[in-house]
Structure 1
Amino acid sequence: MNIVKSFFTSAHRRRCSPALLAKLRPFSVATPEYAKRNYANNVSEYNTVIGSLVAKRRGYLLRDVYDDMMLDGVQPVRDTFHALIVGTMKNSRLQDAFYFRDEMKAMGLPPDVNLYNFLISTCGKCKNSDAAIKLLEEMKKHGVKLKGETYICLLNALAATGRTDQVYAIVRDMTAAGLGLNKFCYAGLITAFKNKTPITDETTTKIIELVKQSKGWSSIDASSDSGENVMMNVSEEELYNIPTAEYIHRRGFINRQLTVYHVALHACADLKSKETMETLLDMLKSDGYSYDAFIVMQAMRCYLHCGDIDSGLKIFEEYTSTRPPTAELFVTLIEGAMVGYTPRGMQLAQDYLEKMNARGFYLNAKMGSDLLLAAAGERTGGYTTANYLWDLMQSRNITPSLPAVEAYHKGLKQREIPADDPRLLLVSRTLDNLMDRFGGRDRFGGRRRT
């Protein structure tokens, strides 16, 4: 890497004005050393790097890559900005999304309707409905014609904050434009009522009502993945922030025909409404459908969050007796069993962690971190489950997330453990490293208190 790039870290570069960067670019001279160590030299190579980061969901690095492009004097093209904004959408980085939008406009590249769809979707992921409305106004101001996808993005983005009035306004606009409601519209309506506060008896009644209404949606009105979305590897479920988005590419995991049921049952688990959930499961059976893995996960979540361990365990055992279990089902059962930290629940979590491990299911960084964060909240008992999870992840060289390590460290400190205990020392060292890496230091340079 040349001397200018190696000296100016991403943090320093962001503090530089465009004028200063322009002055620095002439010093970014290609040398043999630079050619050997630099990762990209032209827009095509930078686009490849960006595409790789987006595919790996490392959106936090996109600003750094863009800064390097500017420092190298490489001019981004429209495809570059599309990839950058898709990357920010996948990682829910709204500030970065608007930054790239502004940079694009400054370079004389006005956003098209597909780009606005990605931006609106990002607003939904970040629960910022006001920003989504401003984007709609911007589209109208610049004469960008809305597509059916745009309306559905807006509907689901507004649903994220429970603004049912705004959601129904979008429905009216769709109807006026001659568009019918499809399953993703009903999914958005259900999400809007789930997120609306305060929660009342109308909430669950409306969810059941909307599921019934959704059965009338016509396949003619059904949207399909656009060429742009397919090219950018963005499914409709991800674009519209449907809870099944992260499982959509898992073969045999979900039945895409059941999107409305997926969203409704996910809402029931969040609302801890066991009665509504059981009503929906009966409706599902009467419609002639069987449970898929995602539906079983939501039923388990609902039962376990309501403190009904027996029913949660029963549906897990029934489903896995006829088909192979998945890591997600184990994790859902284990995490749900720890709700309330009851002796029976913690023992069940420990038992199924051991069963999961014995069957060769490995915890990835996200699953392990989520479970460790949950287990670390145990205030009584021997801290067996949290310790077991930590040891499992250490045995596979997986570093948990900062919040999980922080919570686990706090739990260890609250117990009578010698200051020189090897486990405590390792956790403290890991926490220090994570805080250094992610800026978790106070303004005096010391570690943040936990």
Structure 2
Amino acid sequence: MKKLLQIVAGQRCSPLLRALGRRYFAASTEEYAKRNYASNVSEYTTVVSSLTAQRRHFLLRDAYDDMMLDGVQPSRDIFHSLIVGTMKGARLQDSFFFIDQMKTMGLVPDVALYNFLVSTCGKCKNSDQAIHILEEMKKNEVKPTGQTYICLLNACAASGRTDRVYAIVRDMTAAGLGLNKFCYAGLIAAHKNKIPLTDDTASKIIELVEQSKGWSSIEATRDMAENVMMGVSEEELYNIPTAEYVHRRAGFLNRQLTVYHVALHAFADLRNVEAMETLLEMLKKEGKTPDVFLIMQTMRCYLHSGNIDRGLQIFEEYMNSGKPAMVELYVTLVEGAMVGYTPKGMELAQDTLVKMNARGFFLSPRMGSELLLVASGEKTGGYTTANYIWDLMQARKITPSFPAVEAYYNGLREREIPEDDARLVLVSRAYDNQRLRFGTGPGRP
């Protein structure tokens, strides 16, 4: 029963309680204590926080099951921690499981928990469920806050439901609530995600950026203080593309440029170079300098549009500017260069990885997994970029995510490689181990 304890300590581990069965309570007190990783609600709260910080959101149900088997009574605070964890991991089914558990124990969800649920719906692109949550709040006489409506707006925006987004804007306006930058971010996302796209999508987004310059602040200081205490930024709560970068050092992200961040990110997704350049010109006229996130999106837009030379130029201009180098810029260039798997792009991707490694920058598990997943899609060529990414991760004893391992394994199998090839044997073993670990079950991805 040391599995979760090993995870908290940062060690590698195999599946948890569901793979092991149940605890053996016939053991002596001393043996039980050695096997156990938590014995009270405070210690379980620490475990939940650690799992969330390590992005092991799929183990939260296991920790909760262990807590129940230990006879530990969950508190409202630990339910908050569990639901925040499921929100960060976009695990909607687990979120509702924990809410149901709360209700069973006589604990009524408060407005913060409902906000987290709506946010999770947005991450999962389930606007119907988000609307249902608002109806449940009203039924249970839990008064929605300005935050609730912004969560709802952005949740509907993730599904491209412009009709619902504008209906929410009308409701907010009728209630005397002004639109802040996160509302405009939601409006932009709604137009970008709308299916099918319309011919005026780019012009509407640029128009919204112009309108946002007069945004008014929605006061929610008490609510945000509660979220900050739980490690949830506004960007994460509202599913803004910059959410994972808000805690980076100064210079990476200028949070006053949120609307520009979302708009430029949208144009990169849409591969609309003309609209992207128009937006950068607007920013320049305002006397503002692009931060690193905007530079990443500019590179991404050029690279995904097939203009590798211009994307590389933006990268080199930043690197020669004397500003601090950022691993994210290397990763953006590598990922974008692999679009279309052209010989030129794949060569640039590998050269960039070599330079990145030589400068002492390393791929995080998430970055490495995402790049390996993309590189594994190469159908022709020597597969050298995928092999190099795998080797970089192996050198740091990092196991990629299961989708990345599976894609890499399948890519190797498609090539004429002997069954006893050392690389194929190693990857096969990693694939088999992860396939067993991430099998079906309530607590699995």
* TM-score, normalisation: structure 2: 0.91
Q: For the Cα contact (< 8 Å) 2:192–2:266, is it kept in 1?
A: yes
Q: Which residue of 2 aligns with 1:374?
A: 374
Paired positions, count: 425
* Stretch moving more, 134-143 or 406-415: 406-415
2-side partners of 1:315 and 1:36: how far apart? Answer: 55
> Paired residue for 1:149?
147
Larger RCO, structures 1/2 (Cα 8 Å, 6+ apart): 2
Structure-2 separation of matches of 1:43 and 1:150: 29
**C-alpha contact 1:28 1:71 (8 A) present in aligned 2:** no
The equivalent residue for 1:345 is: 345
Query: Are the counterparts in 1 of residues 146 and 218 from structure 2 also a CA contact under 8 Å?
Result: no
Conserved 8 A contact 1:13-1:67: no
Distance 1:419-1:57 versus aligned 2 partners, 3 A rule: closer
5 Å-filtered alignment, 1:300-311, equals 300-311=299-310
Matched, 1:283 2:291: no
Q: Give the Cα–Cα distance (whole angstroms) in 1 for the partners of residues 21 and 236 of structure 2.
A: 32
| 5+ long unaligned stretches in structure 1 | 3-7, 15-23, 442-450
**In structure 2, what is the Cα distance between the partners aligned to 1:53 and 1:132?**
26
Deviation sequence 1:29-52 (CA, Å, 0-9, x none): 872211232112222222222222
Counterpart contact for 2:123–2:155, Cα < 8 Å: yes
Contact 1:376 1:411 in 2 (8 A): yes
2:45 is aligned with 1:47: yes
Give CA-to-partner distance per residue, 1:118-146, whole Å, 9 cap, x none: 11001001111111001000011111111
Q: CA shift at 1:152, angstroms?
A: 0.5
Per the TM alignment, residue 196 of structure 1 is displaced from its structure 2 partner at its CA by: 0.4
SS of the residue corresponding to residue 360 of structure 2 reads coil
2:75 to 74, 77, 86: 77
Q: Percent identity over the alignment?
A: 71
Query: 2: CA distance between counterparts of 1:51 and 1:61?
Result: 11
1:165 maps to 163
* Rounded Cα–Cα distance in structure 2 between residues aligned with 1:279 and 1:222: 32
Q: Which residue of 2 aligns with 1:121?
A: 119
1:265-284 matched pairs, under 5 angstroms = 265-284=264-283
Which runs of no fewer than 5 residues in structure 2 stay unpaired?
A: 3-15
- Rate the CA distance shift 1:57–1:372 in 2: closer, same or farther, 3 A: closer
Contact kept in structure 2, 1:183 and 1:222, CA below 8 Å = no
Equivalent-residue separation in structure 2 for 1:222 and 1:356 (angstroms): 43
Name the counterpart of 1:10.
18
Q: Deviations over 1:243-297 (max 9, x none)?
A: 0000000012100000000000110111111111111111111111101110011
SS in structure 1 at match of 2:368: helix
Of 37, 47, 50, 2:35 maps to 37
How far 1:183 moved relative to its partner? 0.2
CA contact (8 A) 1:409 1:428 kept: yes
**Runs of 4+ with >3 A deviation:** 11-14, 27-30, 220-225
Letter in 2 for 1:409: Y
**1: distance between equivalents of 2:148 and 2:302?**
36
RMSD of aligned C-alpha atoms?
A: 2.1
Q: In the alignment, is the contact (CA less than 8 A) between 1:309 and 1:345 conserved in 2?
A: yes
Change (3 A) 1:29 1:150: farther
Match of residue 57, structure 1, among 32, 42, 55: 55
The Cα of 1:414 is off from its aligned counterpart by: 2.1
Call closer, same or farther: CA 1:49–1:196 in 2, change over 3 Å: same
Aligned to 2:408: 408
* TM-score, length-scaled by structure 1: 0.90
C-alpha change, 1:266 and 1:405, in structure 2 (3 Å) is same
Contact 1:10/1:67, CA 8 A, preserved across alignment:
no
Report the more deviating stretch, 140-149 or 399-408. Answer: 399-408
Q: Which moved more, 1:402-411 or 1:302-311?
A: 402-411
Quote the Cα distance in structure 1 between the aligned partners of 2:39 and 2:26: 11
CA distance in 2, matches of 1:117, 1:237: 13
Secondary structure, in 3 states, of the residue corresponding to 1:377? coil
TM-fit CA distance, 1:10 = 2.8
Q: 1:424 to 1:52 in 2, by over 3 A?
A: closer
Residues 73 and 116 of structure 1: CA distance in aligned 2, closer, same or farther (over 3 Å) = same
Deviation per residue, 1:137-192 (Å, 9 max, x gap): 00111111111111100000110100011011111111111110000000000000
Structure 1 residue 13: deviation in Å? Answer: 7.1
1-structure distance, mates of 2:183, 2:395: 45
**How far apart are the structure 2 equivalents of 1:86 and 1:115?**
8
CA distance in 2, matches of 1:265, 1:30: 61
Distance 1:43 1:397 in 2: 33
How many Å separate the matches in 1 of 2:104 and 2:236? 28
Query: Taking structure 1 as reference, are residues 263 and 397 closer, same or farther at Cα in structure 2, changes over 3 Å only?
Result: same
Distance 1:152 1:409, change over 3 A: same
Pairing of 1:136-215 with structure 2 (within 5 A): 136-215=134-213
Query: Is the 2:271–2:304 contact (alpha carbons within 8 Å) kept by the matching residues of 1?
Result: yes
